[in-house]
Copies of this chain bind each other. A is one copy, B any other.
């Protein structure tokens, strides 16, 4: 039986942005990105029930209703499953990740919320066990089952693998510390629903085999530190061909990344952000600048951040 601790009335957690899919692992692979994060405060409230009391930062027009906000739904699920009863909890969300950007913002809010609440428990859960609660929070964004690639990455940090099978916890995968990600965010939105609707229901076996080989090759290359194998494998044959038409200038931006020495470049989550992997920080910086310039040639403003792929997940402050 879980209960809140008596000596702590408030906790703050900071959950990083993330790259969903990582090109070759649709719905299952993700990686955290340092430099953009949502900060969530959970504190004991005078009244029973869970309430979102404040939303600030780069996005403020999110639902405050406890049943419709990813952070509060995650907290409600955790309260229910841990049997915390009629506790009073107030949630403050400070958004540092833009909405509908393909940077895992809704996942980060849910992850930050459960990590902060975890800090208030008399007996804290191991971080991976917070996954199902955060996932329940993110499911608000679609109203149904949602893939856990962004939640897993924001929670655990680094490169992560989740499984669509309910009850399976995500794991962190080895990846060389020298690999940096350039995440470039063009200033328009793509709704995940729209990006889902554009996908066909079935895929040819030949494409599936090629994509599976790329997925396995990426994991093997990350494990052994073989950059050539990573570069050969980081090519999305399945989803990118369907979704790239939603992103004006996609081919030019990707080409700019590859010309700048990227190991690979594809769409981050449902887009419109693009991510590219580089060997080392300097290459990532130069690559990000080239990608932003390429969006500029299509009259699209874009911002970027660069981060080691092997960066921390959610942190309690």
Contact = CB atoms under 8 A, between A and B. Distances in A.
A243 to B, nearest CB: 13
Nearest to A202: B202
If over half of A's interface residues share one DSSP class (helix, strand or loop), that class is named, otherwise mixed; here it is mixed
Contacts of A174: 223
A215 interface: yes
A212 interface: yes
Contact of A216 (B202, B208, B216, B226): B216
A22 to B, nearest CB: 11
A210 interface: yes
B199 A202 contact: no
Which residue, of A205, A211, A226, A229, has the highest number of chain B Cβ atoms within 10 A? A205
A26 interface: yes
A305 interface: no
A199 B205 contact: yes
A163 B232 contact: yes
A168 interface: yes
Contacts of A211: 208, 212
A213 B174 CA distance: 16
A173 interface: yes
A165 B212 CA distance: 12
A200 interface: yes
Contacts of A210: 164-165
Interface string A148-164: 00000000000001111
Contact of A232 (B168, B201, B206, B215): B168
Copies in the complex: 2
A25 interface: yes
A204 interface: yes
Nearest to A218: B216
A53 interface: no
A232 B171 contact: no
A215 B212 CA distance: 8
Sorting the interface of chain A by its residue count into under 10, 10 to 19, 20 to 34 or 35 or more gives 35 or more
B201 A204 contact: yes
A77 B206 CA distance: 26
A32 interface: no
B209 A208 contact: no
A213 B173 contact: no
A26 B147 CA distance: 24
A164 B232 CA distance: 12
B164 A220 contact: no
Interface in A76-97: none
A211 B214 CA distance: 14
A99 B211 CA distance: 30
Contact of A200 (B201, B205, B226, B232): B205
Which residue, of A200, A204, A211, A216, has the highest number of chain B Cβ atoms within 10 A? A216
Contacts of A29: 216
A217 interface: yes
A26 B164 contact: no
A165 B232 contact: yes
